[in-house]
Amino acid sequence: MKTRYSHLVFHKLDTVNNPNSIHGIYPYRGKISALDAENIIKQFDENAVLLDPFCGSGTILYEAQKHNLKTIGVDSNPLAITLSNAKITTMDENDRKTEIKHAIEIINKAKTDLKNNDYTDMPKEPKKSFHIDSASEIMSIK
Ligand SMILES: C[S@@+](CC[C@H](N)C(=O)[O-])C[C@H]1O[C@@H](n2cnc3c(N)ncnc32)[C@H](O)[C@@H]1O
């Protein structure tokens, strides 16, 4: 079956990550670079609705919104939802500030927790959101 977007071209992904961009707010595991996201997004029709069912920290959602696409993001990881919400460009400015504050609080809590505990294995709660191999890779770069 020929789909509407069968013409999309997926270039080899760049690994560029700019820590000074909004996406540098958190080093989310598996985050796509903004340039790669844009390369895909700019091939969509301007009235397209983009669904990212594994939106992670929202790089694709944010870049799609910059191109005025309507977006829907889903993720099973509550941290991913908080980070994505903090970046959503279409939300009211006060709500956005609240989301960013919430994201920073969570990040600081996580940093303190990591400093005060000598984890060798990923704690039970975040472990629920990752494949066992991903969890062990994340802990190995801790
Ligand atoms: C590689 S990350 C996505 C990164 C994202 N594109 C970005 O740029 O930040 C994959 C995401 O899939 C989510 N995920 C894995 N299994 C899922 C499921 N069954 N339902 C929803 N989200 C899931 C994970 O929590 C993770 O955030």
What is the reported pLDDT for 14?
55
**Whole-prediction pTM:** 0.71
Residue 51's domain comprises 26-90
- The answer to whether residues 61 and 31 belong to one domain is yes
* Claim to verify: residue 61 and residue 49 sit in the same structural domain: yes
Q: Is residue 122 part of a domain?
A: yes
- Determine whether the shortest distance from the Cβ of 76 to ligand 1 is under 6 A: yes
Pick the closest to residue 23 from 42, 4, 36, 7 (CA basis).
36
In a domain, 108, yes or no: yes
What residue spans of 42-142 are helical by DSSP H?
59-66, 78-87, 93-116, 124-127, 132-140
Instruction: Compute, in angstroms, the gap from residue 37 CA to the centroid of ligand 1.
Output: 15
Helix crossing, 93-116 with 78-87: angle to 10°? 140
Which CA distances in Å does 38 have to 16, 66, 78, 86, 100? 13, 9, 25, 19, 23
* Cα angle: 33, vertex 29, 55; to 5 degrees: 70
Residues 114 and 124 in one domain: yes
71 within some domain: yes
pLDDT beyond 60 at 15 = no
User: Parallel, antiparallel, or unpaired: how do β-strands 49-52 and 70-73 relate?
Assistant: parallel
Are 97 and 83 part of one and the same domain? no
Residue pLDDT, tens place only, 55-105:
988 999 999 998 889 999 999 888 888 888 888 766 678 887 887 888 888
Looking at the structure of the chain, the number of domains it has is 2
Instruction: Give me the pLDDT at residue 51, please.
Output: 95
Q: Is the CB of 23 under 6 A from ligand 1?
A: no
Residue 120 lies in a domain: yes
Q: What is the CATH number of the domain that holds 82?
A: 3.40.50.150
Domain shared by 71 and 98, yes or no:
no
Q: Is residue 12 part of a domain?
A: no
Residues 57 and 110 in one domain: no
Structure-token match 């600081």, residue found = 108
Indicate whether 35 and 67 sit together in one domain. yes
Say if ligand 1 is within 6 A of residue 73 CB.
no
Same domain for 95 and 84:
no
pLDDT given for residue 93 in this prediction: 80
Q: How far is the CA of 54 from the centre of ligand 1 (A)?
A: 4
Give the residue, out of 17, 54, 127, with the most ligand 1 atoms within 8 A of its beta carbon, to mutate for a pocket test.
54
